[in-house]
Structure 1
Amino acid sequence: MLKKFEVSTLIIRVVLGITFFVHGIVKFQGGIENIVGWFDSIGLPGFLAYGVATVEMIGGVALVLGLGSQIVSALLSLLMIGAIVKVKLAVGFLGNGQMAGYELDLAFLAMAIFIAINGSKMFALDQLIFKGQKEETTSLSKS
Structure 2
Amino acid sequence: MLENADLGKLIVRLTLGCLILFHGIAKILHGVDGIAGMLAGHGLPGFLAYGVFIGEVLAPLMVILGYQTRIGAILIVINMVVAIALVHMGQLLSLGSQGGWALELQGFFLFTALALVFLGPGRYKLHS
Q: Note whether the superposition's TM-score is higher than 0.5.
A: yes
Contact 2:55 2:78 in 1 (8 A): no
Aligned mates of 2:69, 2:105 — CA distance in 1: 20
Where is the helix percentage greater, Structure 1 or Structure 2?
A: 1
Partner residue, 1:26: 26
Sort the Cα spacing of 1:106 and 1:44 in 2 relative to 1 into closer, same or farther, 3 A.
farther
Q: Aligned ranges for residues 72-87 of structure 1 at < 5 Å? A: 72-87=72-87
Provide the residue aligned with 2:106 in structure 1: 105
What is the letter of the counterpart of residue 108 of structure 2?
A
Structure with the greater alpha carbon radius of gyration:
1
The 8 Å contact of residues 20 and 60 in structure 1, kept in 2 or not, is answered as yes
Task: Note the aligned Cα RMSD (angstroms).
Answer: 2.4
Question: Where do 4+ consecutive residues of structure 1 move more than 3 Å?
Answer: 92-96
Q: Which moved more, 1:11-20 or 1:47-56?
A: 47-56
Higher relative contact order (CA 8 A, sep 6+): 2
TM-score normalised to the size of structure 2?
0.81
- CA distance in 1 between counterparts of 2:95 and 2:53 reads 24
Cα deviation for residue 16 of structure 1 reads 0.8
> May I ask how many residue pairs the two structures share in their alignment?
124
Deviations 1:69-104 (A, max 9, x none): 0011011111112222332121244358xxx93221
Alignment partners' CA distance in 2, 1:18 and 1:95? 24
- Establish whether residue 65 from structure 1 lines up as the match of residue 62 from structure 2: no
Where structure 2 has 5 or more consecutive residues not aligned to the other structure, the ranges are none
- Distance verdict in 2 for CA 1:49–1:95, change over 3 Å: farther
Percent identity reads 34
Q: CA deviation at 1:45?
A: 2.7
